Homo-oligomer: A and B are copies of this chain.
Amino acid sequence: MTMDVHARDLRYFVAVAEELHFTRAAERLYVSQPALSKQIRALERQLGAELFRRDRHGVALTGAGEALLPHARRVLAAWEAGAAAVEAAKAAERSTLVVGMSTSPGRGGLLPAIRSRFTAAHPETTVRLRQMSWDDPTAGLADGTVDVAFVWLPLPDEERYAWTVVAEEPRLLALPEAHPLAARPEIDFADLLDEPFLALPKSAGRLRDHWLALDARPGRPPRIGAEISGAEETYEALVAGLGVCLVAEGNAPLITRGGVTTRRVRGIGPSRYALAWRSEDGHRPLVRAYAQACRETV
């Protein structure tokens, strides 16, 4: 049953306590004198105590007013500090660029190169890298976790995003070394139609379809061997023989370790890797600069 208070009322109270004069306090506060009087009376009513004694000789603090004054100042100071903290947080946010990615972009020091180029142009800005789960095909753009992101096209809701393509790479087939098809140097996609595939989570939407090469399958739906949402998981699934999967050439090194290999595939198109951002952020200087640095690097 604790009574709330408006900071404004405390400001008013402190002003009157300092001036000991309603009219002067009112003009210092840029309000009319009646408004000030009314608010002070309201505060007094709320507290159930007279704060000022008004008589012929002027305005004076009562005992209760005397008691309240230092606390009122403290409240105001605390709030000012709070507002300042929020302001600082906003500034920090403004000068921080969060870069999302699903797996490491790798590709021969691409990231450090962009970063150094970017930092040259914006030395005050700190760049934070953030690895996002595979079940978000936008790598954090969608929920605002991230300002820019390295993603695989296509994106869902394409009109909400803009991007610049970083690389166009053929899709290889990743499969266990022990797999019969691993004997061939190159594989026809038609031979894979009955093969169980590892798939991205449902939530990946169009991207899931892309890595299943849905457009290269005549009507028949793919068989799903397992769902994967990370590089380690993919490797383990491959070794376990749960299925095969397509993988971008640039990502091949991430999973071609003991027991897993990759082969070229005929009959499917390449994949495009891109740096993307939300369309509404297209004007933000940091976002533009990072995209610029990215284009210059590629």
CB of A108 within 8 Å of the partner chain? no
CB of A181 within 8 Å of the partner chain? no
| Chain copies in complex | 2
CB of A85 within 8 Å of the partner chain? yes
Say yes or no: A82-B86 contact (C-beta < 8 A), given A11-B4, A143-B55. no
CA distance A79 to B78 in the complex (A): 10
**What is the total number of residues of chain A having a CB less than 8 Å from a CB of chain B?**
39
Indicate if the CB atoms of B82 and A72 lie closer than 8 Å: yes
CA distance A141 to B93 in the complex (A): 61
Indicate if the CB atoms of B86 and A64 lie closer than 8 Å: yes
Say yes or no: A53-B7 contact (C-beta < 8 A), given A2-B83, A74-B78, A89-B63. no
CA distance A89 to B71 in the complex (A): 13
CA distance A19 to B7 in the complex (A): 25
CB of A88 within 8 Å of the partner chain? yes
Chain B residues within 8 Å of A74, by CB:
78, 81-82
The contact string, 1 if C-beta is below 8 Å from chain B, for chain A 63-99, is: 1101110011011001111110110111011000000
Chain B residues within 8 Å of A48, by CB:
90
CA distance A92 to B7 in the complex (A): 26
CB of A144 within 8 Å of the partner chain? yes
A80 CB, nearest partner CB in chain B, Å: 6
Q: Which residue of B lies closest to A5 (CB)?
A: B7
Indicate if the CB atoms of A6 and B6 lie closer than 8 Å: yes
Q: Which residue of B lies closest to A74 (CB)?
A: B78
Task: Find the residue from A3, A56, A71, A86 having the highest chain B CB count within 10 A.
Answer: A86
CA distance A72 to B83 in the complex (A): 9
Known: A48-B90, A74-B82. 19 other contacts (CB 8 A): A2-B80, A3-B83, A4-B79, A5-B6, A7-B7, A49-B89, A53-B143, A56-B143, A57-B143, A63-B89, A63-B93, A64-B90, A64-B93, A67-B88, A67-B89, A72-B82, A74-B78, A75-B82, A78-B78
Q: Which residues of A line the B interface, CB within 8 A?
A: 2-8, 11, 47-49, 53, 55-57, 63-64, 66-68, 71-72, 74-75, 78-83, 85-86, 88-90, 92-93, 143-144
